[in-house]
Amino acid sequence: MIEINEIHPNPAGIKRVAVLTSGGDAPGMNAAIRAVVRAAASQGIEVVGVRRGFSGLHRGEMHLLGPRDVANTIQRGGTILLTARSRTWRTPEGRAEGARYLREWGVGGLIVIGGDGSFHGGYHLQEEHGIPVIGVPGTIDNDLYGTDHTIGYFTAVETALDAVDKLRDTGASHERIFVIEVMGRHAGHIALDVAVAGGAEEVFIPEDEKPIESVVEIVKQSVEKGKKGSIIIVAEGYDGGAQAVGDAIQAGTGLETRVSILGHIQRGGSPVSSDRILASRLGEAAVYALMDGQKGVMVGRTSGGITYTPLPETWQNSKDVSHDLYRCARVLSI
Ligand code: F6P
């Protein structure tokens, strides 16, 4: 029989925590909010939900959230707390306002679900006002050091892959080249996974700014090998994006080329199981981290276990794309 201890020690004496989502939305954010609310309730801790991220925090947009308030949300995309990117939070005055509201509400710690920009915002609050902050990695880009995957990434890859499969039908039928841009402001994680899973001829990522002209030779070789159409995946962060790659192909080969920028559809939709499970584990772990007296760390999952990474390290260190996967993408496009 598996022994389960449901009561977590609370040396920090936490009675109430706040939670917010910030930056770009990501599928699974609701599952993370739900996990925070329910894990806290299981320990007799109250949760204050902050609406509109830091933007709402400095305006005091807060309300209590109970376990029933998060019912029927685990499968929903977006974030029930709403999200925003806040300019005011970048000022010490804005953060002081937010800290005042958190104190008024008797909050012993803040859980920030978001990406590196959001973690910066949380870290400043902690440094200036002594309020413990725990980060939960929520971004489709998967670009945070300290966790194998971020919440939303798995769903974004599935969404992009579905689009690639559909575009491939048209590409093959018309014997066209399709250049498809996936999201990833500074990172090629989505692009690389989609390239391998979608059987692409080539992938362009910001981590390896190879010359754009190289695509011309690759497409010419594909045609010589008898391929009916080609799929080229480009990460948004690659210099010039998909349009530049498409233009280079058209100019260098004269072949009929179409560019498709998938954009924000990758951020929406019901989270796949891997994102729901990751969000559930990390939301729970964030509550326990505050109870343990931890602060200024991001909870992550690395090699199956829960890990705690100091917030500055999550943005100071870069998370490498898998070189092996990059190699594999090349080898299999023969
Ligand atoms: O950080 C997630 C992300 O989806 C990036 O991939 C993209 O560059 C950016 O957000 C888009 O942000 P916005 O919602 O402000 O257009």
| Residue to mutate, 113, 185, 236, 314, ligand 1, most ligand atoms under 8 Å from C-beta | 185
Same domain, 141 and 42: yes
Same domain, 234 and 113: no
Report the share of the chain in percent with pLDDT over 70: 100
User: Which of 141, 143, 193, 275 is labelled catalytic?
Assistant: 141
Q: With 90 as the cut, is the pLDDT of residue 244 above it?
A: yes
CA neighbor of 133 nearest in space, from 87, 181, 187, 95: 95
CB 267 near ligand 1, within 6 Å: yes
pLDDT at position 209 is 82
Q: Which residue has a Cα nearest atom 8 of ligand 1?
A: 185
pLDDT at position 330 is 87
Alpha-helical regions (H) of the chain: 29-42, 53-57, 92-104, 116-129, 153-174, 189-197, 214-224, 241-253, 273-292, 311-316, 323-332
Residue 2 lies inside a defined structural domain of this protein: no
Same domain, 122 and 240: no
Q: Which residue has the tokens 């002209």?
A: 213
User: pTM score, two decimals?
Assistant: 0.96
Domains: count for the chain:
2
pLDDT at position 49 is 98
CATH number, domain with residue 220:
3.40.50.460
Same domain, 201 and 288: no
Same domain, 28 and 137: yes
Same domain, 137 and 275: yes
Mean pLDDT of 235-248: 96
- 316 CA to centre of ligand 1 in angstroms: 19
Domain assignment of residue 257, given as a range? 154-267
Residue 327 lies inside a defined structural domain of this protein: no
Same domain, 50 and 70: yes
Residue 286 lies inside a defined structural domain of this protein: yes
Both tokens of 259, joined, read 């560019």
pLDDT at position 67 is 98
Ligand-binding site membership of 229 (annotated):
yes
* Euclidean distance between CA atoms 63 and 60, whole angstroms: 9
The pLDDT tens digits for 69-81 are: 999 999 999 999 9
CB 115 near ligand 1, within 6 Å: yes
- pLDDT-based confidence at 333, cuts 50/70/90? confident
Ligand-binding site membership of 118 (annotated):
yes
Listing DSSP states for 178-217 in one string gives EEEEE--SS--HHHHHHHHHTT-SEEEBTTB---TTHHHH
CATH number, domain with residue 33:
3.40.50.450
DSSP state of 267: G
- pLDDT-based confidence at 4, cuts 50/70/90? confident
Same domain, 172 and 188: yes
CB 116 near ligand 1, within 6 Å: no
Mean pLDDT of 305-319: 97
| Residue to mutate, 82, 153, 183, ligand 1, most ligand atoms under 8 Å from C-beta | 183
Same domain, 67 and 91: yes
| Residue 141 appears among annotated catalytic residues | yes
Ligand-binding site membership of 51 (annotated):
no
- 156 CA to centre of ligand 1 in angstroms: 12
Same domain, 161 and 302: no
Mean pLDDT of 192-211: 94
Ligand-binding site membership of 28 (annotated):
no
Same domain, 237 and 107: no
Q: Give the containing element (helix H, strand E) for 17.
A: strand 16-21
Same domain, 88 and 143: yes
Mean pLDDT of 101-106: 98
Residue 321 lies inside a defined structural domain of this protein: no
Q: With 90 as the cut, is the pLDDT of residue 229 above it?
A: no
